[in-house]
Amino acid sequence: MQAFPVEITDPVYQEKQTLTGYEQFMIRFIKDQRDIPFLHLITSIHLTVIPLAILLYLPILNGVWWWAVAIPYFYISQFYFKGSFGLMLHCFCHRSMWKSEWQWMQKYILWFLSPFFGHLGESYNSHHIGMHHIEGNMPEDSSSTMGYQRDSLKDFIKYWLNFMALGFHDTYQFLFKRKLRKFYVPLSYSEILFYIFAVAMCFVNFKATMVVFVVPFFFARLVMMLGNWTQHAFVDPIEPGDELASTVICMNTVYNHKCWNDGYHAFHHLKPAAHYTEYPLMFEKYKDQLAEKKTFVFSGVHYLHIFKWLMTKNYDMMAAHLVNINDSFKDKDDMISLLKARVKKFENIDQVNTNPEELIAN
């Protein structure tokens, strides 16, 4: 258990006094100077990931030389850039970065760059904006965690496999029933065209297609489901739809520097259109509400730590990294008791809006 207040070290905006020539040229395309780091990321991807991916498709590499490029490529694209790109994509869904005459760049990133990191055109945007932020992990959300025991590896595997098999179907059904055509049409195009594209590219170069597009697709959906599982692992049994009571914050972690303050998930659900640099500044404003709702605020760790501790039921480690805001927890045992209560599987989740207190499994 960590005492409050805690010094916040996560990134906030600091205006640059001097811009490089590159930055001076590029900011003419964007609305907000705070988004300059995204320009650097996009440029780095074009200088590394795209040329290496093309090289893997060319017939000039064979045998061990092909693998000598493929292995570094996979590391660079799927471990070095994947998180930053995926969370940049997340930011794009909520706040358009480009000036009106350059909006086509948004489509370029979604439809050309995204598949290299396992994302399918506008599929993520349709799910995330058209459904997840409307339902907020409630039962009709196709990625809801409520029907699972959130400290069970077996249940996580079920959760991931269920989304892989039915995620597109359930998301489409949700959007179609609500006549959200602007979401279900691009969702359909994105999913179907990717499968056609991937199959076609297998006939061009099977090995390259596996490394560049197919494996990253499965890896991306695993990572996204793992992230969503952890972000929504602790659901308040009485107020499951409360943005603060049923989501978490991970502060003071290197992950927030690399992935645009993604650790502030509770604030993101509260203010989804806020710029990522604003989230650490919101802490002081909302600290009393965080204490009242007993929001789980972890310091010095990120989602992978929490996921590991959930799967091993290591509640002592989770409690050790929780911040006790306004002494809202009496002691470590009080923390652990609430942690365990909020990971319990909901039964009969179709009735969650009527009698939520009766839905927790015994």
Report yes or no on 108 lying in a domain.
no
Query: At which residue do the structure tokens 């404003």 appear?
Result: 285
Q: Please tell me the predicted confidence (pLDDT) of residue 353.
A: 53
Q: Would you tell me how many other CB atoms lie within 10 Å of the CB of residue 10? A: 21
352 inside domain: yes
Number of domains in the chain: 1
Q: What is the mean pLDDT of residues 26-36?
A: 94
- Specify the pLDDT at position 351: 54
Looking up tokens 């203010």 gives 271
What is the per-residue pLDDT for 306? 98
The whole-angstrom distance between residue 249's C-alpha and the CA centroid of its chain comes to 13
Give the tokens for residue 173. Answer: 């059904």
pLDDT of residue 350: 62
3-state DSSP of the chain: CEECCCCCCCCCCCCCCCCCHHHHHHHHHECCHHHHHHHHHHHHHHHCHHHHHHHHHCCCCCCHHHHHHHHHHHHHHHHHCHHHHHHHHHHHHHCCCECHHHCHHHHHHHHHHHHHHCCCCCHHHHHHHHHHHHHCCCCCCCCCCCCCCCCCHHHHHHHHHHHHHHHHHHHHHHHHHCCCHHHHHHHHHHHHHHHHHHHHHHHHCHHHHHHHHHHHHHHHHHHHHHHHHHHCCCCCCCCCCCCCCCCEEEECCHHHHHCCCCCCHHHHHHCCCCCHHHHHHHHHHHHHHHHHHCCEEEECCCHHHHHHHHHCCCHHHHHHCEEEHHHCCCCHHHHHHHHHHHCCCECCHHHCCCCHHHCECC
Q: Are 81 and 128 in contact (CB under 8 A)?
A: no
d(CA 63, CA 149): 46
- State the pLDDT at residue 360: 39
The pLDDT-based confidence of 1 (bands split at 50, 70, 90) is confident
- What are the structure tokens assigned to 184, written together? 């279900």
Q: Determine, yes or no, domain membership for 324.
A: yes
Domain annotation covers residue 263: yes
* Domain contains 158: no
Instruction: Quote the domain boundaries for residue 270.
Output: 2-8+238-358
The answer to whether position 228 is within a domain reads no
User: What pLDDT, on a 0 to 100 scale, did the predictor assign at position 2?
Assistant: 78
Within a domain: residue 323? yes
**Residue 5 confidence class, pLDDT cut points 50, 70, 90:** confident
As a whole number of angstroms, the distance between CA 242 and CA 236 comes to 8
The predicted model scores a pTM of 0.93
The pLDDT value given to residue 6: 80
What's the pLDDT score for residue 16?
84
pLDDT in tens, 16-25: 889 999 999 9
Q: Please report whether residue 121 resides in a domain.
A: no
Q: Mean pLDDT across the stretch 128-132? A: 96
**Looking at the predicted structure, is the pLDDT value of residue 58 above 60?**
yes
